[in-house]
Structure 1
Amino acid sequence: MLTIGCHLSSAKGYEAMAKEAEKIQANTFQFFTRNPRGGNAKEIKEEDVRAYGERARKQGITKILAHAPYTLNACSEKESVRNFAFRAMKEDMERMEYTPGNCYNFHPGSHVGQGVETGITLISELLNEILTPSQTTTVLLETMAGKGSEVGRNFEELREILDRVTLSEKMGVCLDTCHVYDGGYDFVGDLDGVLTEFDRVIGLDKLKAIHLNDSMYGFESHKDRHARIGEGKIGLEAITRIINHPALRHLPFYLETPNDLEGYAREISMLREVYKES
């Protein structure tokens, strides 16, 4: 079965997100842990969590993906920004235990002129301070497009971070199709080659989720601009190969395309049509 969803607003709580997922025939979803531009997280109500759990079981939702705010930069040159990253992620890890066994995704960050090595060191140090042996949440590093001073522009940089995290079993990777293609990995012309390279450098066992997006600017553009499925430089044919690939088809896919709920419903329906049930 294709496990697919999209990004939903968490403003009204977990049960409301599950209801929206049901409306668009999604069986998973992604949400921001707080305002994507930062700030305090909304209070979690235990009755909402219980209602969500019952609804999720009925709908067949088994895994969901939380996304850290975009302003979380673990390797900023500013101490105040790094302190926010620590406070926000530590709090998010505690809040994730209300819905145990799920994943938490974040952009590794931008070193802002300090250099990649410094960036990798700061990110891994933060993770080593926050991760605990008892947590049930898997923290995912997202693949990046290589815009500006982003860390995670290639598989090797992600591997370096993973290697420096003590509790490596609590870590994984979320692969963004737009970012990887924009970053110079040819998902369209050589999908098998890209996955072989990922397996060699990181290991496919570390791949836990996929952000399924088309690309507005395309191969090696380093632009990070998402397009609707089939309307960008990746195209529906290549995306069909991605969701059906033996190494990927079992993973959860999350749409981050420029859409409203109706648009997401259309994309989910289209992708279910081209997915080949095994």
Structure 2
Amino acid sequence: MLLGAHVSTAGGCRNAPARAADIGATAIQIFTKQPNRWAEVTIPDDEALAFRAAVAQHGVAYANAHDSYLINLATHDALLLDRSYSAFLGELNRANQLGLHALVTHPGNATDGDLPRGLAQNADMIARALEEAGGTVQVLLETTAGSGKVIGSRFEQLAEMIARMPGNVSDRVGVCVDTCHVYAAGYDLREDYDGVINQLADVIGLDRVRLFHLNDSATPFASKRDRHAAIGEGSLGDEPFRRLMTDPRFALVPKVLETPKELPENPKDQVTMDLRNLARLRGYLTSA
């Protein structure tokens, strides 16, 4: 099973796979730059080669990046759109350089309230960037919690974005399902797991589900708030994660944690909470 967590790249990308080994991860997610800053970075060739070597050394079978939180390809502001496109293209280029499988991106925020325009524009920008960057990295549209004018809280919106992709890049676009986000958006994984997965299959297609972010929710159902909690300790509880971990349709789909890491008694400890959450997830397999 491809299972792991978002891990730090402090000190360089080459250090991330060793941190994956510390928690027994076979899948990891990283940032290739600071996610809350526009400043672009260039990864030296020797750093990229060291990362690739460390991935092989530490048994990481799947690695993806999450793009910058500042990127908004759905904006109506021309200057922000130009900056966002350049940053997104940079994310794709770094992902290609590191040999990553995928780049996760938020579908954007139509701040002018024109969701159809924002959705179409975002899709078109992603298609353009995929063509310009080349390579094999997939772009995964992440489900969102539905606050404000953010795109991606409804399966239909993601399906429409995928449908806009030209044939030469269509296969490189999929979906990252975040359990906290879909629950907060109004898809009741807790009380109607089968119904939610059936909707996902009917609207998007399970072949497009290429990554899960496994996060419990610190807020109630349909809150439209993105607040992650430790597995089994939020409003989702154990059962949805037990179902996902044992669902044969998703046995080969990578799954990574984005759950809180901090221990109050030791804020510098970035391992213990991941170990606890991963052990809980693996426990669902043995108790099935």
| TM-score with structure 2 setting the length | 0.91
Q: Counterpart of 2:212 in 1: which secondary structure?
A: strand
CA distance in 1, matches of 2:156, 2:18: 39
For residues 82-231 of structure 1, the aligned pairs below 5 Å read 82-100=81-99, 102-132=101-131, 134-166=134-166, 167-231=169-233
Deviations 1:126-172 (A, max 9, x none): 11221128421000100011111010110000111111111211100
Contact kept, 8 Å, 2:13 with 2:32, in 1: the verdict is no
Q: CA separation in 2, counterparts of 1:196 and 1:97?
A: 33
Report if aligned partners of 1:10, 1:17 keep a CA contact under 8 Å in 2: yes
Secondary structure class of the residue paired with 1:235: coil
Query: Are the equivalent residues in 2 in contact too, given 1:143–1:174 (CA < 8 A)?
Result: yes
Larger RCO, structure (CA 8 Å, separation 6 or more): 1
Residue 276 (structure 1) shift? 4.5
With 41-50 and 178-187 compared, the bigger mean Cα shift is at 41-50
Give the match for residue 5 of structure 1. Answer: 4
TM-score (norm 1): 0.94
1:13 to partner: Cα distance: 2.2
Q: Which ranges of structure 1 fall in alignment gaps of 5 or more residues?
A: none
Instruction: Provide the rounded CA distance (Å) in 1 between the counterparts of 2:187 and 2:249.
Output: 17
Cα deviation for residue 33 of structure 1 reads 2.5
- In the alignment, the residues of structure 2 paired with residue 193 and residue 61 of structure 1 have an alpha-carbon distance, to the nearest angstrom, of 33
Counterpart code for 1:120: L
Alpha-carbon distance in 2 for matches of 1:268, 1:201 = 30
Is residue 275 from structure 1 mapped to residue 285 from structure 2 by the alignment?
yes
Aligned residue number for residue 29 of structure 2? 30
Q: Which moved more, 1:178-187 or 1:231-240?
A: 231-240
Alpha carbons of structure 1 residues 229 and 38: separation in structure 2 relative to 1, 3 Å = same
Please say which of residues 132-141 and 12-21 is displaced more in the overlay. Answer: 132-141
Q: Is 1:66 the equivalent of 2:65?
A: yes
Provide the C-alpha distance between the structure 1 equivalents of 2:138 and 2:279, rounded to a whole number of angstroms. Answer: 29
Distance 2:136 2:11 in 1: 24
**2:37, 2:62 → 1: CA distance?**
24
Alpha-carbon distance, 1:28 to partner: 1.5
- Tell me the distance in 1 between the aligned counterparts of 2:16 and 2:57: 14
Question: Where does structure 1 differ by over 4 angstroms across 4 or more consecutive aligned residues?
Answer: none
1:261 corresponds in structure 2 to 271
Tell me, what secondary structure is at the counterpart of 1:22? Answer: helix
8 A Cα contact 1:77 1:114, kept in partner = no
CA contact (8 A) 1:33 1:41 kept: no
Quote how far apart the aligned CAs of 1:226 are: 0.8
